[in-house]
């Protein structure tokens, strides 16, 4: 993916239904534990993956929680 692709993607966002930041925080622990358990977290929490694609701050916190809880 080129820099231009990344820029276009960041400008236009995920382009599909997504949760907001508040709901993301509310569901984050469940989503992460489902991922660690190998369950279909994206099906269980619709709109979460799209939000994590579109929101850098929530994505950072998701990455950290996943790394910490899986360790």
Partner 1 sequence: MSAGPVVSVGRVSVPAGDAETQEWLDALTGTGARRDEAVSRLHGLLLRAARFEVNRRKRVLPHLRGAELDDIAVQSADDALVSILARLSDFRGESRFTTWAYKFAIFEAAVALRRRAWQGREIPIEPERWPLVPSGGPSPEAGTEQRELLAAISDGVREALTPHQRRVLVSVVLDDVPIDVLAERLGTTRGALYKTLHDARARLRADLEERGLAREHEGSKP
Interface with partner 1 (CB under 8 A):
2-5, 7-16, 18, 20-22, 25, 28-30, 32-34, 37, 39, 42, 49-50, 53-57, 60-61, 64-65, 67-69
How far is 10 from 60, CA to CA, in rounded Å? 15
Query: Minimum Å distance from CB 49 to partner 1?
Result: 6
Q: Least distance in Å: CB of 58 to partner 1?
A: 8
Distance CA 29, CA 10 (A): 25
The token duo for 58 is 């929530």
As given in the structure block, the two tokens for residue 32 are 């992460």
- Closest contact distance (angstroms) between CB of 62 and partner 1 is 9
């Amino acid at each position: 993916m080129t820099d231009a692709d990344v820029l276009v993607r960041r400008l236009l966002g995920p382009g599909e239904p997504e949760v907001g930041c508040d709901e993301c925080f509310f569901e984050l622990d469940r989503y992460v534990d489902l991922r660690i358990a190998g369950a279909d977290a994206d099906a269980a929490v619709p709109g979460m993956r799209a939000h994590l694609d579109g929101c850098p701050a929530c994505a950072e916190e998701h990455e950290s929680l996943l790394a910490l809880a899986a360790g």
